[in-house]
Amino acid sequence: MLDLRFIRENPDKVRWAIQVKRVGLDLDELLAVDQEVLKLKRQIQTLNEEKNSNSKRMGKATPEERPQIIQRGKEIGDELKALEPRLRETEESLRQLLLLVPNIPDADVPVGLDDTENVEVYRWGNQPIFDFAPLDHVQILENHGWADFKRVADVAGSRSYMLKNEMVILEHALHRFAMDRLMEKGFTLLTAPSMAREFAFEGTGHFPTGKDQVYYLPADDLYLSGTAEVPVNALHSGEILSESELPIKYAAISPSFRREAGSGGRDVRGLIRVHQFTKVEQYILTKNDPEESKRLHETILGNAKEILEALEIPYRVVEVCTGDMGAGKTKMHDIESWVPSEQKYRETHSCSSLGDWQARRTNLRYRDADGKVQFCYTLNNTALATPRFLVPFLENHQQADGSIRVPAALQPSLGGKEKLG
RNA sequence: GGGGAGGUGCCAGAGAGGUCGAAUGGGGCCGCCUGCUAAGCGGUUAUAGCCUAAUCCGCUAUCGAGGGUUCGAAUCCCUCCCUCUCCGCCA
Protein backbone atom coordinates (compact mmCIF):
# COMPACT_ATOMS: atom_id res chain seq x y z
CA MET A 1 0.00 0.00 0.00
CA LEU A 2 1.20 3.47 -0.77
CA ASP A 3 0.51 6.61 1.24
CA LEU A 4 -2.71 8.13 -0.07
CA ARG A 5 -1.19 11.56 0.10
CA PHE A 6 1.74 10.38 -1.97
CA ILE A 7 -0.68 9.03 -4.58
CA ARG A 8 -2.60 12.31 -4.69
CA GLU A 9 0.57 14.34 -5.05
CA ASN A 10 2.44 12.02 -7.43
CA PRO A 11 -0.14 10.47 -9.73
CA ASP A 12 2.34 10.32 -12.60
CA LYS A 13 4.83 8.23 -10.65
CA VAL A 14 2.06 5.87 -9.65
CA ARG A 15 0.77 5.66 -13.23
CA TRP A 16 4.26 4.80 -14.38
CA ALA A 17 4.53 2.00 -11.82
CA ILE A 18 1.11 0.66 -12.82
CA GLN A 19 2.27 0.60 -16.41
CA VAL A 20 5.72 -0.97 -16.04
CA LYS A 21 4.46 -3.52 -13.53
CA ARG A 22 1.53 -4.30 -15.78
CA VAL A 23 -1.09 -3.87 -13.08
CA GLY A 24 -4.74 -3.59 -14.09
CA LEU A 25 -5.86 -0.52 -12.18
CA ASP A 26 -7.57 2.74 -13.11
CA LEU A 27 -5.87 5.39 -11.02
CA ASP A 28 -8.39 8.07 -11.97
CA GLU A 29 -11.15 5.95 -10.49
CA LEU A 30 -9.17 5.63 -7.28
CA LEU A 31 -8.59 9.39 -7.08
CA ALA A 32 -12.28 10.06 -7.66
CA VAL A 33 -13.30 7.62 -4.92
CA ASP A 34 -10.73 9.22 -2.63
CA GLN A 35 -12.33 12.64 -3.16
CA GLU A 36 -15.73 11.15 -2.47
CA VAL A 37 -14.48 9.69 0.81
CA LEU A 38 -13.04 13.03 1.85
CA LYS A 39 -16.29 14.78 1.04
CA LEU A 40 -18.37 12.34 3.05
CA LYS A 41 -15.96 12.48 5.97
CA ARG A 42 -16.20 16.26 6.10
CA GLN A 43 -20.00 16.13 6.05
CA ILE A 44 -20.06 13.53 8.81
CA GLN A 45 -17.54 15.42 10.89
CA THR A 46 -19.67 18.57 10.71
CA LEU A 47 -22.73 16.63 11.78
CA ASN A 48 -20.83 14.97 14.61
CA GLU A 49 -19.70 18.35 15.88
CA GLU A 50 -23.30 19.44 16.07
CA LYS A 51 -24.40 16.15 17.57
CA ASN A 52 -21.83 16.46 20.35
CA SER A 53 -22.61 20.05 21.23
CA ASN A 54 -26.31 19.32 21.08
CA SER A 55 -26.20 16.42 23.51
CA LYS A 56 -23.80 18.27 25.77
CA ARG A 57 -26.50 20.90 26.29
CA MET A 58 -28.89 18.20 27.46
CA GLY A 59 -27.17 17.80 30.83
CA LYS A 60 -27.92 21.37 31.91
CA ALA A 61 -31.10 21.88 29.95
CA THR A 62 -34.37 22.80 31.61
CA PRO A 63 -37.30 20.44 31.12
CA GLU A 64 -38.84 22.92 28.67
CA GLU A 65 -35.72 22.92 26.46
CA ARG A 66 -35.33 19.16 26.35
CA PRO A 67 -37.89 18.26 23.68
CA GLN A 68 -36.19 20.63 21.22
CA ILE A 69 -32.77 19.13 21.91
CA ILE A 70 -34.11 15.64 21.47
CA GLN A 71 -35.85 16.67 18.27
CA ARG A 72 -32.70 18.23 16.83
CA GLY A 73 -30.67 15.20 17.92
CA LYS A 74 -33.04 12.92 16.09
CA GLU A 75 -32.72 14.97 12.93
CA ILE A 76 -28.93 14.84 13.11
CA GLY A 77 -29.11 11.14 13.79
CA ASP A 78 -31.24 10.59 10.70
CA GLU A 79 -28.82 12.53 8.52
CA LEU A 80 -25.89 10.55 9.91
CA LYS A 81 -27.70 7.31 9.34
CA ALA A 82 -28.08 8.23 5.70
CA LEU A 83 -24.44 9.21 5.27
CA GLU A 84 -22.60 6.62 7.33
CA PRO A 85 -23.39 3.56 5.22
CA ARG A 86 -22.36 5.53 2.14
CA LEU A 87 -19.05 6.41 3.76
CA ARG A 88 -18.49 2.80 4.79
CA GLU A 89 -19.11 1.54 1.27
CA THR A 90 -17.02 4.23 -0.34
CA GLU A 91 -14.16 3.68 2.08
CA GLU A 92 -14.28 -0.04 1.38
CA SER A 93 -14.07 0.47 -2.36
CA LEU A 94 -11.20 2.88 -1.83
CA ARG A 95 -9.44 0.28 0.30
CA GLN A 96 -9.94 -2.37 -2.35
CA LEU A 97 -8.46 -0.08 -5.00
CA LEU A 98 -5.63 0.94 -2.70
CA LEU A 99 -4.68 -2.70 -2.21
CA LEU A 100 -4.00 -2.89 -5.94
CA VAL A 101 -1.68 0.12 -6.13
CA PRO A 102 1.84 -1.15 -6.79
CA ASN A 103 4.98 0.13 -5.14
CA ILE A 104 7.28 2.31 -7.23
CA PRO A 105 10.30 0.35 -8.53
CA ASP A 106 13.71 1.82 -7.75
CA ALA A 107 15.09 3.98 -10.53
CA ASP A 108 17.77 1.44 -11.45
CA VAL A 109 15.39 -1.50 -11.91
CA PRO A 110 15.32 -2.67 -15.51
CA VAL A 111 12.02 -2.03 -17.25
CA GLY A 112 10.75 -5.15 -18.94
CA LEU A 113 7.72 -7.26 -19.71
CA ASP A 114 8.53 -10.64 -18.18
CA ASP A 115 11.27 -12.93 -16.91
CA THR A 116 13.01 -12.98 -20.29
CA GLU A 117 14.02 -9.40 -19.60
CA ASN A 118 15.58 -10.05 -16.20
CA VAL A 119 19.23 -9.12 -16.15
CA GLU A 120 22.01 -11.41 -14.98
CA VAL A 121 24.22 -9.49 -12.56
CA TYR A 122 26.43 -12.15 -10.99
CA ARG A 123 27.53 -15.70 -11.59
CA TRP A 124 29.35 -18.12 -9.29
CA GLY A 125 30.79 -21.62 -9.69
CA ASN A 126 31.52 -23.86 -12.61
CA GLN A 127 28.84 -25.82 -14.33
CA PRO A 128 29.96 -29.42 -13.83
CA ILE A 129 31.34 -31.38 -16.77
CA PHE A 130 30.46 -35.05 -16.48
CA ASP A 131 32.58 -37.85 -17.98
CA PHE A 132 29.51 -40.09 -17.79
CA ALA A 133 25.89 -39.74 -18.80
CA PRO A 134 24.38 -37.61 -16.01
CA LEU A 135 20.88 -38.37 -14.81
CA ASP A 136 18.14 -35.99 -13.98
CA HIS A 137 16.96 -35.73 -10.38
CA VAL A 138 13.92 -37.97 -10.91
CA GLN A 139 16.07 -40.79 -12.25
CA ILE A 140 18.52 -40.36 -9.40
CA LEU A 141 15.74 -40.50 -6.82
CA GLU A 142 14.11 -43.54 -8.36
CA ASN A 143 17.39 -45.45 -8.77
CA HIS A 144 18.07 -45.12 -5.04
CA GLY A 145 14.54 -45.54 -3.79
CA TRP A 146 14.70 -42.01 -2.42
CA ALA A 147 11.26 -40.89 -3.48
CA ASP A 148 7.84 -42.02 -4.59
CA PHE A 149 5.83 -40.04 -7.08
CA LYS A 150 3.44 -42.58 -8.54
CA ARG A 151 1.69 -44.01 -5.51
CA VAL A 152 1.51 -40.74 -3.70
CA ALA A 153 -0.14 -39.06 -6.67
CA ASP A 154 -3.16 -41.29 -6.14
CA VAL A 155 -3.24 -40.25 -2.52
CA ALA A 156 -2.62 -36.54 -2.83
CA GLY A 157 -2.97 -35.60 -6.48
CA SER A 158 -0.55 -34.28 -9.03
CA ARG A 159 2.51 -32.28 -7.99
CA SER A 160 2.81 -34.35 -4.84
CA TYR A 161 5.86 -36.35 -3.82
CA MET A 162 7.16 -38.40 -0.98
CA LEU A 163 10.80 -38.47 -0.01
CA LYS A 164 12.23 -41.67 1.40
CA ASN A 165 15.18 -42.85 3.43
CA GLU A 166 18.34 -40.78 3.00
CA MET A 167 16.45 -38.02 1.16
CA VAL A 168 14.43 -37.39 4.31
CA ILE A 169 17.65 -37.03 6.25
CA LEU A 170 19.21 -34.85 3.57
CA GLU A 171 16.21 -32.53 3.50
CA HIS A 172 16.38 -32.02 7.24
CA ALA A 173 20.15 -31.60 7.14
CA LEU A 174 19.87 -28.85 4.54
CA HIS A 175 17.37 -26.93 6.61
CA ARG A 176 19.41 -27.42 9.74
CA PHE A 177 22.45 -26.18 7.87
CA ALA A 178 20.68 -23.03 6.70
CA MET A 179 19.23 -22.30 10.14
CA ASP A 180 22.56 -22.77 11.87
CA ARG A 181 24.16 -20.28 9.51
CA LEU A 182 21.45 -17.69 10.12
CA MET A 183 21.45 -18.17 13.85
CA GLU A 184 25.19 -17.49 13.84
CA LYS A 185 24.44 -14.25 12.06
CA GLY A 186 22.08 -13.10 14.78
CA PHE A 187 18.77 -14.09 13.25
CA THR A 188 15.91 -15.08 15.53
CA LEU A 189 14.77 -18.57 14.57
CA LEU A 190 11.04 -19.17 14.24
CA THR A 191 8.78 -22.04 13.34
CA ALA A 192 6.06 -20.08 11.64
CA PRO A 193 2.46 -21.25 11.33
CA SER A 194 1.37 -22.28 7.87
CA MET A 195 -2.20 -21.25 8.54
CA ALA A 196 -3.19 -17.63 8.72
CA ARG A 197 -6.15 -15.33 8.43
CA GLU A 198 -7.01 -13.24 5.43
CA PHE A 199 -5.55 -10.00 6.80
CA ALA A 200 -2.10 -11.57 6.96
CA PHE A 201 -2.20 -12.37 3.26
CA GLU A 202 -3.41 -8.88 2.49
CA GLY A 203 -0.55 -7.59 4.56
CA THR A 204 2.16 -9.16 2.47
CA GLY A 205 0.36 -8.39 -0.78
CA HIS A 206 -0.50 -11.98 -1.65
CA PHE A 207 -4.17 -10.94 -1.49
CA PRO A 208 -6.32 -9.86 -3.18
CA THR A 209 -4.64 -10.60 -6.51
CA GLY A 210 -3.04 -13.94 -5.63
CA LYS A 211 -6.01 -15.45 -3.86
CA ASP A 212 -6.38 -18.25 -6.40
CA GLN A 213 -2.86 -19.48 -5.55
CA VAL A 214 -3.75 -20.16 -1.93
CA TYR A 215 -5.49 -23.10 -0.27
CA TYR A 216 -8.51 -22.14 1.80
CA LEU A 217 -9.88 -23.94 4.87
CA PRO A 218 -13.52 -22.84 4.93
CA ALA A 219 -14.47 -24.59 8.17
CA ASP A 220 -12.07 -22.33 10.05
CA ASP A 221 -11.78 -19.40 7.64
CA LEU A 222 -8.03 -19.89 7.39
CA TYR A 223 -5.63 -20.03 4.47
CA LEU A 224 -2.43 -22.01 3.96
CA SER A 225 0.49 -19.74 3.31
CA GLY A 226 3.02 -20.27 0.56
CA THR A 227 5.76 -18.60 2.57
CA ALA A 228 6.55 -17.72 6.17
CA GLU A 229 6.60 -14.12 5.00
CA VAL A 230 2.81 -14.12 5.54
CA PRO A 231 2.62 -15.02 9.24
CA VAL A 232 5.87 -13.29 10.14
CA ASN A 233 4.93 -9.95 8.60
CA ALA A 234 1.62 -10.08 10.44
CA LEU A 235 3.30 -10.96 13.72
CA HIS A 236 3.86 -7.34 14.74
CA SER A 237 0.77 -6.01 13.04
CA GLY A 238 -0.55 -2.90 14.77
CA GLU A 239 2.47 -2.52 16.99
CA ILE A 240 4.63 0.54 17.37
CA LEU A 241 8.15 -0.79 17.81
CA SER A 242 11.00 1.30 19.06
CA GLU A 243 13.83 2.17 16.72
CA SER A 244 16.39 0.63 19.06
CA GLU A 245 15.01 -2.89 18.48
CA LEU A 246 15.38 -2.58 14.69
CA PRO A 247 16.36 -4.24 12.50
CA ILE A 248 14.52 -7.38 13.57
CA LYS A 249 15.94 -10.34 11.68
CA TYR A 250 13.84 -13.49 11.54
CA ALA A 251 14.72 -16.84 10.03
CA ALA A 252 11.42 -18.69 9.85
CA ILE A 253 10.92 -22.28 8.79
CA SER A 254 7.47 -23.38 7.72
CA PRO A 255 5.66 -25.93 5.60
CA SER A 256 4.49 -23.90 2.61
CA PHE A 257 1.63 -24.52 0.23
CA ARG A 258 0.86 -23.28 -3.25
CA ARG A 259 -2.00 -24.25 -5.51
CA GLU A 260 0.01 -23.50 -8.66
CA ALA A 261 -3.25 -22.52 -10.34
CA GLY A 262 -2.67 -21.59 -13.95
CA SER A 263 0.77 -23.14 -14.14
CA GLY A 264 -0.82 -25.82 -16.30
CA GLY A 265 1.63 -28.37 -17.62
CA ARG A 266 4.74 -26.51 -16.48
CA ASP A 267 7.27 -28.53 -14.47
CA VAL A 268 4.83 -31.29 -13.66
CA ARG A 269 7.61 -33.85 -13.37
CA GLY A 270 9.75 -34.17 -10.28
CA LEU A 271 10.45 -31.77 -7.47
CA ILE A 272 10.70 -28.40 -9.18
CA ARG A 273 7.12 -27.23 -8.77
CA VAL A 274 5.12 -28.92 -6.01
CA HIS A 275 2.14 -28.00 -3.87
CA GLN A 276 3.79 -28.51 -0.50
CA PHE A 277 7.33 -27.66 0.44
CA THR A 278 9.46 -26.56 3.36
CA LYS A 279 11.23 -23.26 3.39
CA VAL A 280 13.58 -21.31 5.60
CA GLU A 281 12.85 -17.67 4.95
CA GLN A 282 14.78 -14.59 6.01
CA TYR A 283 12.45 -11.77 6.99
CA ILE A 284 13.65 -8.33 8.06
CA LEU A 285 11.85 -5.43 9.68
CA THR A 286 13.89 -2.28 9.63
CA LYS A 287 13.58 1.46 9.83
CA ASN A 288 12.30 3.84 7.21
CA ASP A 289 15.64 4.39 5.49
CA PRO A 290 16.32 3.44 1.86
CA GLU A 291 20.08 3.24 2.40
CA GLU A 292 19.79 0.92 5.38
CA SER A 293 17.27 -1.14 3.46
CA LYS A 294 19.69 -1.45 0.54
CA ARG A 295 22.44 -2.66 2.85
CA LEU A 296 20.12 -5.25 4.35
CA HIS A 297 19.04 -6.36 0.89
CA GLU A 298 22.68 -7.06 0.10
CA THR A 299 23.08 -8.80 3.45
CA ILE A 300 20.25 -11.27 3.00
CA LEU A 301 21.16 -11.81 -0.63
CA GLY A 302 24.71 -12.46 0.58
CA ASN A 303 23.46 -14.94 3.17
CA ALA A 304 21.77 -17.00 0.47
CA LYS A 305 24.84 -16.81 -1.75
CA GLU A 306 27.02 -18.05 1.11
CA ILE A 307 24.72 -20.98 1.67
CA LEU A 308 24.85 -21.93 -2.01
CA GLU A 309 28.60 -21.54 -2.13
CA ALA A 310 29.07 -23.66 0.97
CA LEU A 311 26.89 -26.29 -0.66
CA GLU A 312 28.92 -25.92 -3.87
CA ILE A 313 25.98 -25.21 -6.15
CA PRO A 314 26.74 -23.10 -9.25
CA TYR A 315 24.31 -20.19 -9.40
CA ARG A 316 23.65 -16.83 -10.90
CA VAL A 317 21.88 -13.77 -9.60
CA VAL A 318 19.41 -11.96 -11.82
CA GLU A 319 17.96 -8.55 -11.29
CA VAL A 320 14.24 -8.94 -11.82
CA CYS A 321 12.66 -6.49 -14.25
CA THR A 322 9.55 -4.42 -13.55
CA GLY A 323 7.10 -6.72 -15.36
CA ASP A 324 8.25 -9.83 -13.46
CA MET A 325 8.45 -8.33 -9.97
CA GLY A 326 5.51 -8.40 -7.60
CA ALA A 327 3.37 -5.33 -7.04
CA GLY A 328 4.81 -4.47 -3.66
CA LYS A 329 8.47 -4.62 -4.49
CA THR A 330 10.90 -1.82 -5.11
CA LYS A 331 13.79 -4.10 -5.92
CA MET A 332 14.13 -7.83 -6.44
CA HIS A 333 16.84 -10.34 -7.17
CA ASP A 334 16.34 -14.00 -7.93
CA ILE A 335 19.06 -16.52 -7.33
CA GLU A 336 18.95 -19.29 -9.89
CA SER A 337 20.79 -22.55 -9.32
CA TRP A 338 22.30 -24.56 -12.14
CA VAL A 339 20.25 -27.60 -13.19
CA PRO A 340 22.46 -29.82 -15.38
CA SER A 341 19.64 -31.95 -16.84
CA GLU A 342 17.96 -28.85 -18.22
CA GLN A 343 21.20 -27.06 -19.01
CA LYS A 344 19.78 -23.94 -17.42
CA TYR A 345 19.53 -21.96 -14.23
CA ARG A 346 16.33 -22.35 -12.22
CA GLU A 347 15.02 -20.02 -9.53
CA THR A 348 15.69 -21.34 -6.04
CA HIS A 349 15.79 -18.07 -4.05
CA SER A 350 14.02 -14.77 -4.27
CA CYS A 351 15.21 -11.60 -2.54
CA SER A 352 12.88 -8.62 -2.26
CA SER A 353 12.79 -5.13 -0.84
CA LEU A 354 9.35 -3.69 -0.25
CA GLY A 355 9.96 -0.32 1.35
CA ASP A 356 7.02 0.46 3.63
CA TRP A 357 4.46 -1.09 1.28
CA GLN A 358 3.82 -4.18 3.42
CA ALA A 359 4.17 -2.29 6.69
CA ARG A 360 1.42 0.12 5.67
CA ARG A 361 -0.86 -2.81 4.95
CA THR A 362 -0.20 -4.43 8.32
CA ASN A 363 0.07 -1.14 10.19
CA LEU A 364 3.55 -2.00 11.37
CA ARG A 365 5.30 1.03 12.77
CA TYR A 366 8.11 2.19 15.03
CA ARG A 367 8.96 5.33 16.94
CA ASP A 368 12.11 6.96 15.64
CA ALA A 369 14.79 8.78 17.62
CA ASP A 370 12.81 12.04 17.36
CA GLY A 371 9.70 10.37 18.73
CA LYS A 372 7.97 10.38 15.35
CA VAL A 373 5.95 7.34 14.36
CA GLN A 374 7.08 5.83 11.06
CA PHE A 375 6.22 2.81 9.00
CA CYS A 376 8.86 0.07 8.96
CA TYR A 377 10.58 -1.17 5.84
CA THR A 378 10.47 -4.90 5.18
CA LEU A 379 12.64 -7.29 3.19
CA ASN A 380 12.71 -10.99 2.61
CA ASN A 381 14.78 -13.67 0.98
CA THR A 382 14.75 -17.41 0.80
CA ALA A 383 17.52 -19.11 2.75
CA LEU A 384 16.72 -22.58 1.47
CA ALA A 385 13.60 -24.30 0.15
CA THR A 386 13.13 -28.01 -0.35
CA PRO A 387 12.37 -30.17 -2.22
CA ARG A 388 13.12 -27.82 -5.13
CA PHE A 389 16.65 -27.29 -3.89
CA LEU A 390 17.25 -31.05 -3.99
CA VAL A 391 17.13 -30.81 -7.79
CA PRO A 392 20.35 -28.82 -8.27
CA PHE A 393 21.88 -30.51 -5.23
CA LEU A 394 21.46 -34.05 -6.53
CA GLU A 395 22.19 -33.28 -10.15
CA ASN A 396 25.32 -31.20 -9.57
CA HIS A 397 26.80 -33.59 -7.02
CA GLN A 398 26.09 -36.91 -8.80
CA GLN A 399 29.04 -39.21 -9.38
CA ALA A 400 29.80 -41.82 -12.03
CA ASP A 401 28.93 -44.63 -9.61
CA GLY A 402 25.51 -43.12 -9.00
CA SER A 403 26.32 -41.81 -5.54
CA ILE A 404 25.88 -38.22 -4.44
CA ARG A 405 28.89 -36.35 -3.14
CA VAL A 406 28.25 -34.44 0.09
CA PRO A 407 30.04 -31.07 0.19
CA ALA A 408 32.41 -30.73 3.13
CA ALA A 409 30.36 -27.97 4.75
CA LEU A 410 27.28 -30.16 4.92
CA GLN A 411 28.98 -33.30 6.21
CA PRO A 412 28.66 -32.38 9.91
CA SER A 413 24.88 -32.00 9.45
CA LEU A 414 24.80 -35.46 7.89
CA GLY A 415 26.65 -37.32 10.58
CA GLY A 416 29.95 -36.99 8.77
CA LYS A 417 28.83 -38.77 5.60
CA GLU A 418 30.92 -37.93 2.53
CA LYS A 419 28.47 -39.41 0.08
CA LEU A 420 24.92 -40.66 -0.18
CA GLY A 421 23.90 -43.84 -2.00
C1' G B 1 -17.16 -29.66 21.86
C1' G B 2 -19.51 -27.74 26.75
C1' G B 3 -19.28 -24.24 31.17
C1' G B 4 -17.10 -19.91 33.85
C1' A B 5 -14.09 -15.24 34.14
C1' G B 6 -12.13 -11.42 31.42
C1' G B 7 -10.05 -7.86 27.26
C1' U B 8 -9.60 0.08 29.21
C1' G B 9 -3.66 4.45 27.60
C1' C B 10 3.79 2.35 28.02
C1' C B 11 2.36 -1.02 32.52
C1' A B 12 -1.01 -1.91 36.67
C1' G B 13 -5.89 -0.54 37.50
C1' A B 14 -10.77 2.56 38.40
C1' G B 15 -15.01 3.73 35.67
C1' A B 16 -21.55 0.76 35.46
C1' G B 17 -25.71 6.04 30.27
C1' G B 18 -24.13 12.91 30.01
C1' U B 19 -19.39 16.79 33.59
C1' C B 20 -14.71 10.54 30.21
C1' G B 21 -9.55 10.68 25.70
C1' A B 22 -10.81 8.57 30.33
C1' A B 23 -9.45 8.70 38.12
C1' U B 24 -5.24 6.80 40.75
C1' G B 25 -0.43 4.44 41.09
C1' G B 26 4.03 3.02 38.50
C1' G B 27 7.26 3.99 34.34
C1' G B 28 9.22 7.57 30.56
C1' C B 29 10.43 12.68 29.25
C1' C B 30 11.31 18.12 30.61
C1' G B 31 12.34 21.50 34.46
C1' C B 32 13.25 22.80 39.74
C1' C B 33 15.59 21.52 44.27
C1' U B 34 19.19 19.15 47.73
C1' G B 35 27.74 18.40 47.78
C1' C B 36 26.94 13.45 44.07
C1' U B 37 23.20 9.61 44.26
C1' A B 38 18.50 8.39 46.41
C1' A B 39 14.26 11.06 47.96
C1' G B 40 11.12 15.45 46.99
C1' C B 41 8.36 19.33 43.94
C1' G B 42 6.04 21.14 39.25
C1' G B 43 4.85 20.05 34.34
C1' U B 44 4.33 16.63 30.46
C1' U B 45 3.52 11.79 28.26
C1' A B 46 -1.69 7.93 22.50
C1' U B 47 -2.92 7.09 17.20
C1' A B 48 -5.36 8.54 12.80
C1' G B 49 -8.17 12.16 10.05
C1' C B 50 -10.05 17.31 9.04
C1' C B 51 -8.43 22.46 9.44
C1' U B 52 -3.72 25.14 9.22
C1' A B 53 2.24 28.28 7.14
C1' A B 54 2.66 24.97 11.45
C1' U B 55 4.95 18.67 14.69
C1' C B 56 0.64 25.57 17.80
C1' C B 57 -4.68 25.92 18.43
C1' G B 58 -9.43 23.95 17.27
C1' C B 59 -12.55 19.94 15.63
C1' U B 60 -13.75 14.45 14.53
C1' A B 61 -12.92 9.29 15.47
C1' U B 62 -10.79 5.47 18.53
C1' C B 63 -11.60 2.00 25.79
C1' G B 64 -10.35 -6.11 21.57
C1' A B 65 -13.21 -5.75 16.27
C1' G B 66 -17.79 -4.84 13.80
C1' G B 67 -22.95 -3.73 14.07
C1' G B 68 -27.29 -1.94 17.05
C1' U B 69 -30.33 0.82 20.97
C1' U B 70 -30.34 6.16 22.64
C1' C B 71 -30.91 13.20 22.00
C1' G B 72 -26.18 11.12 24.12
C1' A B 73 -22.35 4.66 24.83
C1' A B 74 -15.87 2.71 27.66
C1' U B 75 -20.68 1.92 30.25
C1' C B 76 -26.85 -1.33 27.56
C1' C B 77 -27.89 -5.26 23.39
C1' C B 78 -26.09 -8.60 19.24
C1' U B 79 -22.13 -11.05 16.36
C1' C B 80 -17.08 -12.16 15.98
C1' C B 81 -11.83 -12.42 17.73
C1' C B 82 -8.42 -13.18 21.67
C1' U B 83 -6.68 -14.47 26.85
C1' C B 84 -7.29 -17.22 31.41
C1' U B 85 -9.80 -21.34 33.73
C1' C B 86 -12.77 -26.01 34.60
C1' C B 87 -14.87 -30.48 32.10
C1' G B 88 -14.69 -33.65 27.74
C1' C B 89 -11.69 -35.36 23.54
C1' C B 90 -6.82 -36.00 21.64
C1' A B 91 -0.92 -36.34 18.81
Query: What 8-state DSSP symbol labels residue A246?
Result: P
Whether the domain at A4-98 and the domain at A115-420 fall into the same CATH topology: no
Rounded Cα gap, residues A299 and A314, in angstroms: 19
- The per-residue pLDDT for range A45-65, each reduced to its tens digit, is 888 888 888 887 776 677 777
DSSP classification of residue A21: T
The string of pLDDT tens digits covering residues A198-247 is 999 999 999 989 899 999 988 888 999 999 999 999 988 888 888 888 89
What are the domain boundaries of chain A? Answer: 4-98, 115-420
Cβ atoms A7, A14 nearer than 8 A: yes
Residue A295 annotated to the active site = no
Instruction: Give the pTM.
Output: 0.92
Phi, psi of A221 (to 5 degrees): 55, 45
A4-98 is classed CATH 2.40.128.110:
no
Distance A238 CA to B39 C1' (A): 39
Our answer to whether residue A347 is catalytic in this structure is yes
Find all residues with CB under 8 Å of A271, minimum gap 6, and list them: A137, A138, A141, A147, A161, A387, A388, A390, A391
ipTM entry? 0.83
Coil, strand or helix at A128: coil
Question: Which DSSP symbol is given to A363?
Answer: T
Fold of A115-420: BirA Bifunctional Protein; domain 2 (3.30.930)
Average model confidence (pLDDT) for chain A? 92
Asked if residue A345 has pLDDT above 70, the reply is yes
pLDDT for A60: 66
| Residues engaging strand B (CB under 7 angstroms) | A 38, 41-42, 44-45, 48-49, 51-56, 58-59, 69-70, 73-74, 76-77, 81, 84-85, 88, 240, 365, 367, 373
Q: Which positions of strand B lie within 7 Å of protein CB atoms?
A: 18-19, 46-50, 59-61, 67-68, 70-72
